[in-house]
């Protein structure tokens, strides 16, 4: 929305010194490689700044970064460490401390980005209070350093000191680009039938209804030919590499034939039958009953093993809450090198 755009424009103005030095992260793939995370770093002359990561696929991806020249940090900062804070999608979430020469592993939501701020410790800019975790993804847990725990939360009261703390949040998990089910795609899958079962939480439809109420645009049938319009629809994306207009999948829901639609970047895409406007296939699940177990079978055309990632919900935003339901100490030295 307008506030979101204005906020990032202001961010650009405030951090132009670091952003002017932006460069691709060479240890990651190039943006033209399907299915791989790519990213940029933007560090100022004091080795403070930002890391931006982009996941072009619907599947969650883990990525490991070396904290050195690969992310724009010079050898002049050998021995230094940084306080890391998330700017997007969950602004303000602490991401722990990174040390020069270490490797950190991060998880990215499907079809999403991750923006991080790195502030060098023992520099003038570290005078600010260490970020405290104020909210997290609904129904999920996050591991943070002791100093970042929400100490005011009742669930954290009386917790004995430990280096790291696992914080659990209330609610139903709703994530951007979340899979429709937990059924994995076999690594050797090369086409044919893929079967799964799924249920749609009512909270998903609540989110979509709220979006339509906030943005009451009278979408037309022609508008909906462009799959990115009318974002109050619940769309199920068939995520795979190199879809073709001449090789459409088929589907059955609870034993009955189910229509599969073209995803297009143009209102006239399906009518023109142009591969240049075509972005894949999807199923409109807006009318599917919630809180009901459904059986889905999808027949896929021939694909290379690994190219079919599965079925994912589109038009969802990750939901966050500040309602902490559990706060537990991490026993011993943690082997987890990330804060997600």
Tell me: the pLDDT tens digits for 124-162?
444 445 678 889 999 999 988 888 898 889 999 888 888
Q: What is the pLDDT of residue 275?
A: 75
CA distance 95 to 160: 21
Helix (H) or strand (E) holding 300: strand 294-300
Q: What is the pLDDT of residue 7?
A: 96
Extended strands (E) in 67-111: 81-88, 94-99, 103-108
CA distance 55 to 181: 20
Per DSSP, 125 falls in state G
| % helix, strand, coil for the chain, step of 5 | 15, 35, 50
Signed CA dihedral, 193, 199, 203, 208: sign only: positive
Q: What is the pLDDT of residue 241?
A: 93
Q: What is the pLDDT of residue 334?
A: 44
CA distance 340 to 338: 6
To the question of pTM greater than 0.85 for the whole model, the response is yes
Give the residues of the chain that fall short of pLDDT 70: 31-33, 123-130, 269-273, 332-340
Q: State the CB neighbour count (10 A cutoff) for residue 229.
A: 15
Helix (H) or strand (E) holding 309: strand 308-314
Q: What is the pLDDT of residue 44?
A: 97
Q: What is the pLDDT of residue 146?
A: 87
For 100, how many CA atoms within 13 A lie in the half-sphere containing its CB?
A: 16
From residue 114, give the alpha-carbon distance in Å to each of 6, 107, 170, 209.
19, 9, 23, 27
Burial state string for 178-214 with b = 16 or more CB within 10 A and e = fewer than 16 = bbbeeeebeeebebeebebebebeebbbebbeebeee
Tell me: the pLDDT tens digits for 15-55?
999 999 999 999 998 766 677 899 999 999 999 999 999 99
Q: What is the pLDDT of residue 123?
A: 52
Q: Which of 225, 253, 229, 248 is nearest to 238 (CA)?
A: 248
Q: What is the pLDDT of residue 338?
A: 41
Give yes or no for a contact between 136 and 339, defined as CB atoms under 8 angstroms apart. no
Give yes or no for a contact between 204 and 290, defined as CB atoms under 8 angstroms apart. yes
Q: What is the pLDDT of residue 198?
A: 98
């Amino acid at each position: 929305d307008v506030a979101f755009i204005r906020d990032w424009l202001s961010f650009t103005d405030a951090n132009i010194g670091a952003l002017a030095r932006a460069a691709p992260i060479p240890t990651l793939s190039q943006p033209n490689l399907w299915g791989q995370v790519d990213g940029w770093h933007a560090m100022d002359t004091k080795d403070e700044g930002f890391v931006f990561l982009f996941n072009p696929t619907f599947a969650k991806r883990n990525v490991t970064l070396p904290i050195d020249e690969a992310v724009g940090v010079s050898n002049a900062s050998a021995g230094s460490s940084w306080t890391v804070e998330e700017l997007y999608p969950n602004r303000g979430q602490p991401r722990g401390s990174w040390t020069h020469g270490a490797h950190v592993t991060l998880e990215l939501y499907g079809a999403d980005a991750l923006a991080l701020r790195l502030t060098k410790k023992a520099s003038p800019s570290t005078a600010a209070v260490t970020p405290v975790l104020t909210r997290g993804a609904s129904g999920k847990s996050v591991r943070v350093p002791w100093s970042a725990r929400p100490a005011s939360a009742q669930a954290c009261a009386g917790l004995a000191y430990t280096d790291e703390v696992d914080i659990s949040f209330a609610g139903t998990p709703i994530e951007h680009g979340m899979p429709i089910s937990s059924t994995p795609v076999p690594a050797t899958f090369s086409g044919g039938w893929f079967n799964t079962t799924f249920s749609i939480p009512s909270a998903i439809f609540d989110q979509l209804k709220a979006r339509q109420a906030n943005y009451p645009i009278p979408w037309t049938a022609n508008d909906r030919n462009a799959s990115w319009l009318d974002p109050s629809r619940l769309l199920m994306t068939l995520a795979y590499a190199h879809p073709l207009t001449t090789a459409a999948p088929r589907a059955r829901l609870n034993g009955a034939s189910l229509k599969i639609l073209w995803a297009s970047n143009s209102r006239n895409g399906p009518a023109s039958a142009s591969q240049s406007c075509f972005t894949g296939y999807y199923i409109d699940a807006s009318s599917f009953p919630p809180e009901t177990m459904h059986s889905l079978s999808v027949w896929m055309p021939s694909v290379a093993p690994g190219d079919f990632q599965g079925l994912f919900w589109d038009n969802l935003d990750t939901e966050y809450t500040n309602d902490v339901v559990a706060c537990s100490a991490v026993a011993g030295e943690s082997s987890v090198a990330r804060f997600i």
